[in-house]
């Protein structure tokens, strides 16, 4: 079953670079829905630190990657067996993600209980009495890619069906973010691999144009006749459908910042019979939460990774895996990356699903 039905608009000033949450106090109730850009002041100020001055994508169509062997399930859905070459690439991305946070040191989370199965927003469905994040060292938000990423989070209206209006300032912010990430080791590794496999242009400017089309070009999501969504908005910012359902929203930074502002009500972790039990040191978590007036009954996110790691990973999977699901192994994780496209040109949604965790030996 698809995990997705497939903004941040506030700016408080931060005077401290760490956030702690005392478990002596219950989490704040979700704030009233904010569907207008006018509240965007609170988030961008969240990153204004007092100490700072500061062509269509080439895609494999109708056939699998040469190193992948399709396996047809009884349902007719084509699944991709673990791709060793892609797994090696993801491992290289992981090893070079120098901006990744360490659990227990740079951030701490409190899993608490398992979320209920209902989509209701009642307390009976709430397996967590406190926020998910109890501490994040916000010094990481001063790094260039984090700073550029966070500046994008208030550029969208969350309601699907409401057309997005992109201002020149927002276009400039998109380009500034892409300029920052393509200079990182992780994106350079991904770019080199894509060029070698004739999936991306070698020229950095043309590669950036390709990334812009995949992630930032607007399209009309289901039920809308006008451009109201983009891959970036859906995956990293989150959207609401009908004011009652949260779709997308697969990014830990947005989750943390929105929870800190009181807009997120974490309802507990999600786990199925065949999935690994969650713990607070894993970098992948399935969870349930409410945002504004909507509920995300089950979502899955990386926690603590950098924006450039997720951007590189998801772009690789989008361009190399035409069947939209690929299994990769890296570090201690066996993960299925779900990456649905929109008209073969844009990312519809993408997120990780933890299949297996190999506990490190001491």
Q: Say which of 44, 208, 250, 292 is annotated catalytic.
A: 250
Is residue 234 among the annotated active site residues?
Answer: yes
- pLDDT tens series, the chain, 362 aa: 444 544 333 333 333 334 444 443 445 444 444 444 433 444 444 443 434 344 333 333 333 333 333 333 333 334 445 588 999 999 999 999 999 999 999 999 999 999 987 555 555 567 889 999 999 999 999 999 999 999 999 998 887 767 778 899 999 999 999 999 999 999 999 999 999 999 999 999 999 999 999 999 999 877 666 787 899 999 999 999 887 899 999 999 999 999 999 999 999 999 887 889 999 999 999 999 999 889 999 999 999 999 999 999 999 999 998 668 899 999 999 999 999 988 889 999 999 999 999 887 76
Strand order from edge to edge, sheet including 18-20: 18-20, 133-137, 107-109
Partners of 97 in the beta sheet?
none
Q: Which of 192, 147, 143 is nearest to 47 (CA)?
A: 147
d(CA 22, CA 31): 20
Cα 231 to Cα 27, 95, 122, 346, distances in angstroms: 30, 26, 31, 6
d(CA 243, CA 257): 21
Q: Say which of 27, 44, 191, 234 is annotated catalytic.
A: 234
189-225 residues labelled b (16+ CB within 10 A) or e (exposed) = bbbebbeebebbbeeeeebbebbeebbbbbbebeeee
Is residue 250 among the annotated active site residues?
Answer: yes
Q: Say which of 65, 260, 283, 296 is annotated catalytic.
A: 296
pTM: 0.78
d(CA 242, CA 359): 41
Is residue 282 among the annotated active site residues?
Answer: no
Strand order from edge to edge, sheet including 333-342: 325-330, 333-342, 346-357
Q: Locate tokens 């786990």: which residue? A: 271
């Amino acid at each position: 079953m698809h995990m997705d039905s497939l903004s941040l608009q506030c700016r408080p000033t931060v005077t401290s670079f760490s956030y702690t949450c005392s478990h002596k106090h219950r989490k704040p109730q979700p704030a009233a829905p904010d569907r207008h850009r006018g509240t965007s002041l609170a988030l961008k100020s969240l990153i204004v630190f007092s100490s700072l001055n500061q062509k269509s994508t080439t895609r494999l169509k109708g056939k699998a990657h040469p190193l992948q062997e399709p396996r047809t399930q009884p349902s007719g859905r084509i699944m991709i067996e673990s791709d060793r070459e892609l797994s090696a690439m993801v491992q290289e991305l992981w090893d070079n993600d120098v901006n990744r946070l360490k659990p227990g040191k740079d951030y701490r989370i409190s899993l608490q209980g398992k979320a209920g199965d209902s989509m209701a927003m009642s307390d009976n469905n709430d397996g967590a009495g406190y926020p998910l994040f109890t501490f994040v060292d916000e010094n990481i938000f001063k790094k260039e890619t984090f700073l550029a990423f966070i500046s994008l989070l208030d550029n969208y209206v969350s309601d699907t069906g409401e057309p997005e209006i992109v201002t020149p300032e927002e276009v400039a912010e998109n380009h500034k973010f892409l300029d920052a990430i393509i200079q990182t080791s992780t994106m350079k590794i991904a770019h080199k691999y894509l060029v070698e496999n004739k999936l991306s242009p070698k020229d950095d400017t043309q590669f950036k144009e390709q990334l812009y089309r995949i992630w930032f070009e607007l399209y009309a999501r289901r039920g809308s006749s006008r451009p109201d969504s983009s891959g970036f908005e859906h995956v990293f910012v989150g959207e609401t459908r009908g004011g009652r359902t949260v779709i997308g929203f697969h990014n830990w930074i947005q989750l943390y910042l929105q929870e800190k502002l009181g807009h997120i009500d974490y309802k507990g972790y999600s786990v199925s019979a065949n999935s690994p039990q969650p713990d607070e040191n894993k970098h992948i978590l399935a969870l349930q939460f409410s945002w504004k007036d909507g509920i995300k009954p089950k979502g899955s996110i990386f926690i603590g990774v950098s924006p450039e790691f997720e951007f590189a990973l998801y772009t690789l999977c989008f361009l190399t895996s035409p069947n939209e699901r690929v299994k990769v192994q890296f570090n201690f994780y066996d993960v299925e990356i779900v990456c649905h496209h929109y008209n073969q040109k844009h990312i519809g949604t993408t997120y990780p699903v933890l299949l297996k965790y190999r506990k490190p030996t001491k």
